[in-house]
Each structure stands twice: as C-alpha cells, then as structure tokens.
Structure 1
Amino acid sequence: MKRSTLTFIPLSNDLGKIRFFGTLMPALLLLKQAPGQFIRHQIRRRLTPRMGVEAYIQQYADDFGQLDDLWIFVHRWHTTTFDPLAFARAHTFLAQLGRLLRREGYEAEPLDPLSPTVNLPQLAIRAGLGNASPYGLLTHPIFGPRLILSGMRTNHPLQLRPRWGGGGCTDCMACLKLCPQKPLETLEVNLGLCQTCAICFAVCPTGKGRRARAALAEIGRDAF
C-alpha cells in the first residue's frame, strides 16, 4: 500500500487544543516524572547565556535550517519513547535565544513546538531537514521522528544550513502497521484520535543505525 491511498486528518484547528499538546501537557508530564528538571528549566528560561547567537545555536540546537527570516530548530528526543524533557529544552532554547537576539538589537519572534500559527514540520521539510512521515510529521535523517521542532523569526543576518542532508522516512510502513488506529484498515490517519502511545516513534528505524551514532559523535552528542 502507498501512503497516497491514506486520508490524512490534521491534529485540530482548535488553537487551545494545539497549545495544550505543545506546551501544557508536556510540562505536566515533566513535572510528574522529573520535578527537578522542570524547575531547572523554569529558572534557565529567565537567564541570558554568556555567548553569542551563533555559538548558542551550534551548542544547543541539534540541527537547524532557514526559510527567509524564519530559523527552524530540531531538538531531538533523548529516549525512543515520548520525551517531555525535549519540549522543555525547546522552550528554554527559544527563551534564551530570544534574549540573546534582543540583547544584540535584533528582532525575535519565537514559534513554540506545535505552534498554531505555522506548520513547522512542512517548513522544516522545505528547509531541507528531512521528509514527511505518513503522519505528516518531520522524519529527520539522523534523529528519525523522535524530535521536537521550534522556530524563530528574526532579522539577524546569520544563515543557517542543515548539518545533514538526505531523506528520513523510508516508507517502511512500520508505524502504520502498529498504530492502534489501524490506518491500514481504515485508510485514514487522524491525528485528532492519537492516543500519544508513541509506538510510531519507537518503531521507526530511521535514526537508530550506525550512521546516526556516527553523526551524533561528530557534533559531540550522545546516542540514546
């Protein structure tokens, strides 16, 4: 079966629901699972790093791309299952990067994960950061789908180019075969019915092989 035979239904047009899944729910999960990390990130968001914009991006963003005045950032999960800490890292990253940009006199408009104002996965694909999974999410060539996206609109002159090229999703259909929605039977993928089981993220083979481990080592990152 080809993915073109499936009907894709986006998460929601309800901005409140989108913000809940992108901000409140991960924060509550992190507070429950790792309260120390939750507090740490709440504090860090109020601090301005002692480094320049480019150095900060290189150190704290796992990958990045650009479309005109929009910077797009990839924040990988550190587990193969749902990682609420990745959301915290993304929010902290945006808060601190915004402070750095404004300190240097540049504009800074952050776009949170699951931002209701733009489709970050589609923009990330256009920026060369990977391709789309059957669920319409970005599949990165090194991290697979196990990532969070964030963005920043700015007039800073820095040009960001992806660290790695190539595709991501191989159309192996493993995610569709194991999804509780049974999309191969219903011929429908409905993100609004997602149970957040994260099976699709866990079974994706992209980002689990030797190439991924070698690429992470090149930039001083640990594998899962």
Structure 2
Amino acid sequence: MNHPTFQFNHEGKVILVVEDDYDIGDIVENYLKKSDFQVKRAMNGQQALEIQANTPIDLIILDVKLPQLSGWEVLTTLRHSKQTPVIMLTALDQEIDKVMALRMGADDFVVKPFNPNELVARVQAVLRRSTHHARKSAPTTLYFKNIEINTENHSVFIKSEDVAAQAILPLNLTLTEYKILLLMIQQPFKVFSRSELMLQCLPDRDALERTVDSHVSKLRKKLEDQQLFNLLINVRGVGYRLDQAR
C-alpha cells in the first residue's frame, strides 16, 4: 500500500553553516545546494552571530568547537532573542553532549562523521516542524509594567499612566537598545553584568564595557523621557537590572 507523502517546499530557504573545517563545510554546502537550499557560511561563532543578526536565516547548522565563540555560546546567545532552528554538529559522541544541546534549545544533534544525505534529511525535518509550529503560534508580546514589546516586529510601546489619555506611544530604540531591554524584560529579576550584555546584545566583539554603559545610559534616558524613572538600575560593581518595585 502506498502512503501519501507530505511535500515540503524548502525552495529559497536559507541555511547558515557554521563550521571552521573548510572541507566539511564545503561538503555540507554542496549537498544542501543540491536540495535547492541557499547557503551562507561562517567560520567562527562571532561571525555566525553577525550574519544571523543581519540576514534572514531559516536554519543554522552549528559546529560545537569553533574559534572566538563556541557553539554552546552561540546557541545560548541565539536563544535569548531568536528561535531560529539549530542543528548542532560535534565530533564528541557522548550522551551528555546530546542532552546538553537539547536542553540549551537545539532542535537536533548530529555526530561527526555523518552521512551528508542524512544531515539534509534532518534539516528538512526540522524545517517542517518549525514551519508547522510557526503557523500555529501567535505573535509574541511581552509586558513589563507599562512597557509592551512585540518580538515579531521588534516594536516597543509605552502605555500612558494617565487613565484619561489612554495613550500608547511608540518607543524608538536602536537595535542594541532594543536587545538590552528585551533581554532584561525576559529575566526581570536578574542582574546582568556588563560582559553578559556585551556578549548578547552588542554585535561588535571588540566593544568595551564602557560602550555598554553608553547604550544603557541612552536607553535609560529614553525611558525617563516617557516618565519611567528608576526602572533601569545600576547595581554597583556588578551590572544592571530592571526594578520590579512599584
């Protein structure tokens, strides 16, 4: 008996291959292109984050051992603001690595050496699942006090405390300011060190900690312009947090 086959149209889907081994990267790229995927390449973790931040990516094939930033660090950074599907690649055939990858938010895990055709099949399967999930999911909106963030279109709004006015005003932020605010609203009780904010929110790997202070200062000023005082708190000697007290 012939079973119906679900045809998933992946034409035009963009796959980011993050692999510092040229030969392995070339093999993966060639097999993906044979299956009508578009491919972008990154040779290290920092480059991967920069590409992902500036280019629409449908799925990432991510090696664990990378220069500058490891695959684990890249995955952690991605999951703070993005749900782009990720398949981890590693030469370590250890159960703990598989468990860690899934717990950290990876969608699949492939051990080297691997069959390129199998990897392509896994890419197709993960994309099918993520596409189905995206169709069922509503746009994500986060709230903190009278701040509203829509993570689908990167918009931020402030609801006026004047009940009579009922005004909802857009808050114009730079991309870095948006990332800082989103990250902190996702974990409002957490104190973020400058190095954490620098790693997760600033695209420039060579940025200094005082650059973080500058971005936070400008973000605080914009919040205060909307009458949101004492919201972004400096924790002396540690970093910054959002104030939950009213």
Indicate the TM-score class for this superposition, using the shorter chain for normalisation. under 0.3
Length-normalised TM-score, structure 2: 0.23
Q: Structure 1 length normalisation: TM-score?
A: 0.25
Q: Which of structures 1 and 2 has the larger relative contact order (alpha carbons within 8 angstroms, sep 6+)?
A: 1
Larger Rg: 2
